[in-house]
Structure 1
Amino acid sequence: MAVRISKILLVASIGALLLLIALDNVFDYNTNYEIVSHVMSMDEVPRDSVISWRSITNPTLHKLLYGFIIFTEFAAAALCLAGAGKLWRERRAEAVRFNAAKNIAVAGLALGLGLYLFGFLGVGGEWFQMWRSATYNMQQAAFRFIGSIGLVLLFVHQRDD
């Protein structure tokens, strides 16, 4: 039972973390919007770089991408919290039912992991060369989320006997 409770608490913790991040991005919109805008504009990548054509300087597109990030954070948070609730309801069930109840939690964790892995490291880090920026490089922060969410995903996905 302790392992099941641990899985539930960790999924709920990731859900709460993602919810806090999303809420911060709504209530303190400009702080991270500025980062998204600078990263997409590639304003710290030399203009003579062969990949500077990738830059997007349109503020509307910056807002759309930032809105997508916030939406994805809310969606991942909702799935994790709903998944933790479903796991809680099945905590005393036989292993087959408890394992089957993991689907929503796994979906939320995978969505959050995908956001930070592909969105921040892939798109931000590599496509827009965020790693070149001394000021707006969010790869270390994203990697902390990737590590946390990834470990919880691996733990939760382990079969319960």
Structure 2
Amino acid sequence: MHNLNTDQIIRISKTALMFFVSLFGLLMMYSNFTDYATNYEYVGHVLSMDTTRENLKYSNRAVTSPMLHHRIYWIIITLEVIYTVFCLMGTYQLLRNIKKDADTFHEAKKFALLGLLIAIFIYYVCLQVIGVEWFNMDLSETWNYKDWARHIVDFILPLLIYIAIRIER
């Protein structure tokens, strides 16, 4: 351990954290493909707004078409696949350039940053903004994943900042 300097540890930590978020993406993809019905049911309930306490007040916002539920769910799955692929590519690029000069290592962050931005779009914009603010997901006692999505964003946003800042030399 005494052979490593702080800059090397920073590079290793950025690479490892990108691997961790990539692993999360892989597990999400696995869940979506192997347990499609359960996750589809969640999307259907949120979009239909059939389990919110104030169902009638905002029912004009509901999307009740099962065909649209499937299509929206597949958009989410596609975005999760894209973010995971970008994060994996970002992890690989960081690992590949971990011992190169600071400029090269910094430029290797592109895929990682794109992957993290897509993840924030999914878990913040899609789930927290649209799911909570438009479809009132937070009013459902059964199909409320607001806190789950917030915990993911609470990890990914600081990670995005940490990866982006140029502190390694």
Report the TM-score range of the alignment, normalised by the length of the smaller protein.
Answer: over 0.9
Q: What stretches of structure 2 of length at least 5 have no aligned partner?
A: 1-7
Greater Rg over alpha carbons, structure: 2
**Residues 147-156 or 40-49, more deviating:** 40-49
Structure 1's consecutive aligned runs of 4 or more residues displaced over 2 angstroms after TM superposition are: 44-48
Q: What stretches of structure 1 of length at least 5 have no aligned partner?
A: none
TM-score, normalised on structure 1? 0.96
* Equivalent AA in structure 2 for residue 139 of structure 1: K
Alignment pair present for 1:92 and 2:99: yes
**1:117 matched to which residue of 2?**
124
- How many aligned positions are there? 160
Identity fraction in percent: 34
Alpha-carbon deviation of 1:95? 0.7
CA RMSD of aligned residues (A): 1.0
TM-score, normalised on structure 2? 0.91
Match of 1:71 among 78, 84, 87: 78
Match of 2:134 among 123, 127, 136: 127
* Counterpart secondary structure, 2:144: coil
Match of 2:154 among 147, 150, 160: 147
Alpha-carbon deviation of 1:44? 2.3
For the residues of structure 2 that align with 1:115 and 1:32, how far apart are their CA atoms?
Answer: 15
**Residues 28-37 or 38-47, more deviating:** 38-47
Match of 2:109 among 98, 102, 105: 102
For the residues of structure 2 that align with 1:78 and 1:120, how far apart are their CA atoms?
Answer: 20
For the residues of structure 1 that align with 2:78 and 2:105, how far apart are their CA atoms?
Answer: 29
